[in-house]
Structure 1
Amino acid sequence: MSPEEKMRASAARYVRHGEQVHAVIGAQTKNPYLVVLVGFWYLLFNRYRMIVVTSERIAVLDADKVSFKRPRAVLYEHHRDTQLGPAAGRFWHKADFGDETLYVHRRFFNEIAKADLAVLG
């Protein structure tokens, strides 16, 4: 089972009845380049998020402090017509979600494109 499939499986309990999952995206709350400056202390300040894009909404889930693979709760939701991309950046994409800025790694850029394609039709 791939990491993306594991993420979809763990997010399944936060998906409402009748919703189809279009994309699952891992993200973090602090600038990833700060780890170079603060090292281990970065783990104290950073939080991981899982962005679940469904046919009805975009749900941002709180996850573990060390991984985005195990969600704990829905933090907030956005309208489905919200675009996440286009993903830009060599390694990280910076996305603003209301009061929170999230950083998405390059490995999820295809998921962002899939989510936006579902909006544009």
Structure 2
Amino acid sequence: MALRDTMVTRAQPFLQPGERVQAVFGGQKITQWWVLLSAFIVLFANRYRTVVVTDRRILVLDGTRMSQTKVTGVLAEVPRTVQIGPPSGLWWKCESLGRPIYVHKRFHKDVVAADTQRPQTPGYPPMPPGPPPVAPPSY
């Protein structure tokens, strides 16, 4: 089973009846750049987070220290109209969901997919367009 499928399966107990998952992505409590100072900081201070974007709301689920797919409870519930991204860099710091969550580059496409499915509500700006495609160099 793929990582995102496992995240959705483990998040099912926290969803309301009839709620549809639109996107799911993982993150962490602290940035991995701490490993440059000491691996023990990352090992003991870090906790994984799972963000589940549904058609009704955005859930931030608390995880364990060792597994990105195990969830232990709900940390935050955010309205679906909140824009999550746009993500950038290797470890993007997401601050729009209440607490800072560091999201790795492999999940950036999931953040963009969640934002493009966001309902447009008056007072909220639309998602800005991504950067233009870069043409490969010609030699």
TM-score scaled to structure 1, two decimals? 0.92
**Structure 1 segment 27-38 matched on structure 2, within 5 A:** 27-38=27-38
Unaligned runs of 5+ in 1: none
CA shift at 1:41, angstroms? 3.1
CA shift at 1:120, angstroms? 5.0
Unaligned runs of 5+ in 2: 121-139
Query: What SS does the aligned partner of 2:37 have?
Result: helix
Partner residue in 2 for 1:18 = 18
Partner residue in 2 for 1:54 = 54
Is contact 2:92–2:103 with CA below 8 Å preserved after alignment? yes
Partner residue in 1 for 2:86 = 86
Give 1:118's aligned amino acid: Q
Q: Which protein has the bigger helix share? A: 1
CA RMSD of aligned residues (A): 1.2
Which of structures 1 and 2 has the bigger CA Rg? 2
* Paired-residue identity, %: 38
- Separation (CA, whole Å) in 1 of partners of 2:46 and 2:21: 26
- Separation (CA, whole Å) in 2 of partners of 1:114 and 1:35: 30
Partner residue in 2 for 1:117 = 116
In the TM superposition, structure 1's runs of 4+ consecutive aligned residues that sit over 3 Å from their partners are none
Partner residue in 2 for 1:43 = 43
Structure with the bigger RCO (C-alpha within 8 Å, sep 6+) is 1
TM-score scaled to structure 2, two decimals? 0.81
